[in-house]
Amino acid sequence: MTGTLRAIDLHKSYRRGREQVHALRGVSIDVQPGEVVALLGRSGSGKTTLLNCLLGWERPDRGAVEVPGTAVPAEAPWSTVAVVPQRFGLLDELTLADNVALPARLAGLPDPRAAAIETLEVLRLGHLVDRTPDEVSLGEQQRTAIARALVVGPRFLVADEPTGRLDEDLSIHVLTTLREVYAAAGTGVLIASHDPVVVAASDRVVRLGDGLVEG
């Protein structure tokens, strides 16, 4: 087993009424530890489907996903491949601190709340830790979802449009943090995005078009 996160020749179709939609038509991609890869492509090109397959949320019709470290039973999945979902997935009844502490608790970190607050502070949310998601802006919710993914210091981070609700300054701050704090410590980062800030901060760009890697 290598230390690389890999999708190999993924095929995935959906049935929509009588129509067959080929979301992925043979996509291979890899992410090395410590690199930041931008996944670009028009709306509907298959980015989310690819991320879902990498996360094990969807099963490809054909092809394989290699996730390093999954043979180690003690390692929580979120510590291996953490995710920032497009729709955030925060729990409304928990504070931001408790949302972010949740994966830290599951991963058995010694002080989940302290780790959560520290990560929220890195994302400039230290003043909001005791609010619930409906008491903060969408951009603040988005950064909370990023903090929740990062709190365990994952080996890989998979993020679906993680700057879609952020202004340019905050996008740059988030990308700089991902690069200089997390990728520098070895986290491999894959970001599906249309944001030029993401492209500028990436080591490498992979373009999807109509279910295939272009170029």
Q: The tokens of 192 are what? A: 């599906």
Task: Give CA–CA dist 115/100, Å, rounded.
Answer: 8
**SS3 assignment, position 2:** coil
Rounded Cα distance between 14 and 138, Å, is 30
Of 40-48, 122-130, 145-153, 163-171, the window that binds ligand ATP (rule: CB under 6 A) is 40-48
143 in contact with ligand ATP (CB under 6 A)? no
End-to-end C-alpha distance for the chain, whole angstroms: 28
Q: Which one of the spans 15-23, 100-108, 127-135, 182-190 is the region binding ligand ATP (CB under 6 A)?
A: 15-23
14 binds ligand ATP (CB under 6 A): yes
* Residue 209 sits in the site that holds ligand ATP (CB under 6 A): no
Spatial separation of the C-alpha atoms in residues 125 and 214, rounded to whole Å:
38
CA dihedral 43, 187, 150, 72 (to 10 degrees): 110
Instruction: Give the Cα separation of 56 and 143 in Å (integer).
Output: 23
Q: Does 193 bind ligand ATP (CB under 6 A)?
A: no
Determine, following the binding rule CB under 6 A, whether residue 21 of this chain makes contact with ligand ATP.
Answer: yes
Q: At closest approach, how far in Å is the CB of 8 from ligand ATP?
A: 18
Among 44, 56, 89, 209, binds ligand ATP (CB under 6 A): 44
Residues 49-68 that bind ligand ATP (CB under 6 A): 49
Q: Which is nearer to ligand ATP, 18 or 43 (CB)?
A: 43
Q: Does residue 48 interact with ligand ATP by CB under 6 A?
A: yes
What's the min distance (Å) between Cβ of 105 and ligand ATP? 30
Contact window for ligand ATP (CB under 6 A) among 36-44, 89-97, 138-146, 165-173: 36-44
Nearest CA-CA partner of 144 in 100, 86, 199: 100
The residue (of 25 and 105) whose beta carbon lies closer to ligand ATP is 25
Residues 108-132 as b/e (b if ≥16 CB within 10 A, e otherwise) read: ebeebbebbbebbebbebeebbeeb
Contact positions vs ligand ATP (CB under 6 A): 14, 16, 21, 23, 41, 43-49
